[in-house]
Amino acid sequence: MRALSAAMLRELLIFFRYPGWVVSVVVWPVLFPAAYIFLARALAGPDPRAQAAQALGTPDYVGYILIGTLLWMWVNTTLWTIGSALRKEQLGGTLESNWLAPQPRAALLFGAALAHAVVVLWMVAVATAAFTLVYGLKVRAPAESALLFLANVPWVYGLGLLFASLVVWAKEANGMVHAVRSVFLIFCGMSFPVAVMPGWMQAVGRALPLTHGIDALRMAALAGAGWREVAPELAWLLVWGAALSVCGFLAFAFTDRRMRELGTTGTY
């Protein structure tokens, strides 16, 4: 536990030593959705809200886009930061000094993930506040929305853990992160309804957890849906969460052992 919180504190300290990152976490979530919101306005004709109600199932097209982009950005930053966490420490040389300590090695990675979660929560808070002020967002079922948001934690960080191990073997994160985040960007209905895609793409999209995370949050925050209505989505998220966490953990255990066989903890 102490190792976990120490690792988290360490990551936060380092995070705040890079002003550029700090600023981008505040600015990016507010700016990124604007591209889609303006496109929606341009295409929707004289009454965007009426058009949205027809096409998206809710008049609140702004909220619709904000929820999609926020969740996607979360996945995106997780892939970048947690995904490259092990590799970064391997390159920097601190992986060995951490692993020399009498601590479960996964705890150190979880600590970094926790630090990331803290930053993300902050990002969500800033974004929600900004969206409310700038775009007039109204969240209808706040408690349900918050819990649904958190229901994404297992699969998002499970995926991050899995990525952390894969990146160690692939030696660089860029290619893999770009591939995976593009899949999520296109297939998961971040800024449009999944139903507008061709059939096979819809099938892919429906299988992915992000699609359900976005859907569930839209239902709760925009349409005020209760637990019963979002239950299937929630179940899907948790199943993915369990599966990805197990995969992530196994991949990490395998990587740990393999690195000790190959002697790659300190080399690159």
Partner 1 sequence: MAMNEASAAIVVHHLRKDFPRRAQGPFWRRRGPTSPFPAVRDVTFEVRPGEIFGLLGPNGAGKSTTIRVIATLLLPTGGRAYVAGYDVVRHPASVRRRLGAVLTGDRSLYWKLTGRENLRYFAALYDVAPARTAGRVESLLGEFGLAEKADELVERYSTGMKQRLAIARSLLADPPVLVLDEPTVGLDPQSALGVRSLIRRIAAEGRTVLITTHYMEEADELCDRVGIIDGGRIVALDTPENLKRSLDRTTVVRLWTTGGDGRLREGLGRVPGVLRVSLREAAEPGRPSEATVTGEGLRRRVAELVAAALAAGAEVERVAIDEPTLEDVFLHLTGRGFDR
Ligand X SMILES: Nc1ncnc2c1ncn2[C@@H]1O[C@H](COP(=O)(O)OP(=O)(O)O)[C@@H](O)[C@H]1O
3 binds partner 1 (CB under 8 A): yes
Contact 83, 162 (CB under 8 A): no
Report the residue from 41, 138, 171, 260 that binds partner 1 according to the rule CB under 8 A: 260
267 binds, among ligand X, partner 1, none (CB under 5 to 8 A by kind): ligand X
Phi, psi of 190 (to 5 degrees): -60, -45
User: From start to end of the chain, where are the E strands?
Assistant: none
Compare residues 18 and 38 and give the one whose CB is closer to partner 1: 18
CB closer to partner 1, 8 vs 82: 8
Quick check: 198 binds ligand X (CB under 6 A)? Answer: no
Query: Which residues contact residue 186 at a Cβ distance below 8 angstroms, ignoring those fewer than 6 apart?
Result: 201
Structure tokens, 75 = 């996945």
Q: Which of 101, 133, 231, 235 binds partner 1 (CB under 8 A)?
A: 101
267 binds ligand X (CB under 6 A): yes
Binding partner selected for residue 3 from partner 1, ligand X, none, CB under the kind-specific 5 to 8 Å limit: partner 1
Considering the complex, state which of residue 5 and residue 267 has its C-beta at the smaller distance from ligand X: 267
The Cα angle at residue 79 between residues 74 and 80, in degrees rounded to 5: 100
Q: Where are the beta strands (DSSP E) in 48-201?
A: none
**Closest approach of Cβ 258 to ligand X, in Å?**
12
CA distance 91 to 265: 9
Tell me: does residue 262 bind partner 1 (CB under 8 A).
yes
According to the 3-state scheme, what is the secondary structure of 217-257? HHHHHHHCCCHHHHHHHHHHHHHHHHHHHHHHHHHHHHHHH
Contact between 99 and partner 1 per CB under 8 A: yes
Give the whole-angstrom CA distance, residue 10 versus residue 140.
37
Alpha-carbon span 210 to 179, nearest angstrom: 15
Question: At closest approach, how far in Å is the CB of 60 from partner 1?
Answer: 42
Q: What is the closest distance, in whole angstroms, from the C-beta atom of residue 86 to partner 1 in the complex?
A: 14
CB of 38 or CB of 268, closer to ligand X: 268
Spell out, one character per residue from 224 to 263, where the chain touches ligand X: x when CB under 6 A holds, - when not: --------------------------------------xx
Q: How far, in Å, CA of 225 to CA of 111, rounded?
A: 34
Residues at the site binding ligand X, with contacts judged by CB under 6 A: 262-264, 267
Binding stretches for partner 1 (CB under 8 A): 2-3, 5-7, 9-10, 13-14, 17-18, 92-94, 96-103, 108, 257, 260-263, 265-266
